[in-house]
Amino acid sequence: MEVSLAVPPDAVFIVLTVITLLAAILALQAKELIYGAIALGVSFIGIAGFFILLDAPYLAMLQIAIYVGAVVVLILFTIMLVRRDVGEEVVERGERGESAAGLWIAGLLAVAIAGVAALAGPNLASSPPPGVLSVSDLGPVLVTEYPVPLIILALLLSAALLGALMLAKVER
């Protein structure tokens, strides 16, 4: 009986997604800042796993080297310079209304992305374009062949930007 020991890629994708998302949530919710930094590193490694699934191992390695090896180090620096005793809580939980609003916005965004993807449906390009792309070809290809992923990316980026603004906002 011939058995393939290879795991189906869908299962790998689901496991990676769960790990990445859980780590990202933990990175925001951890009571101890250093656990947040570690969870952020795990989440970055999960994203590197996605790159490996997409046959881009070089990008995956650079993701680990730069994001986990440098960005997390920067965050650790910041945490270490704010010295305090182990076990003290510093992260204040947001009020109930704030987290509810956050959930609402996240849900709306998910619905918007799902809607765009569903409307685009068959137009979603799944195979890479033939031939070698030069940098100058990249722009036209992004707009003509992959408009839907581009729009979804734009939505995600604006959500991230809004979140960063909210976090950095100084209460007066």
Residue carrying the six token digits 């849900």: 107
Task: Work out whether 91 is an interface residue with other proteins (CB under 8 A).
Answer: no
Is residue 90 part of the contact set for other proteins (CB under 8 A)? no
Which residues, other chains included, contact 109 with Cβ-Cβ below 8 Å and sequence gap of 6+?
155, 156, 159
Q: Which is nearer to other proteins, 86 or 170 (CB)?
A: 86
Question: Is the CB of 12 or the CB of 117 nearer to other proteins?
Answer: 12
Q: Identify the residue among 7, 77, 130, 172 touching other proteins (CB under 8 A).
A: 77
DSSP state of 88: -
E-only strand ranges, 23-128 = none
Query: Do the beta carbons of residue 79 and residue 33 sit within 8 Å?
Result: yes
Minimum distance between the CB of residue 83 and other proteins, rounded to whole angstroms? 8
Do 108 and 102 touch, CB atoms closer than 8 A?
Answer: no
Name the residues that contact other proteins, by CB under 8 A.
1-5, 32, 34, 38, 41, 57-58, 61-62, 64-65, 68-70, 72-73, 76-77, 80, 85-87
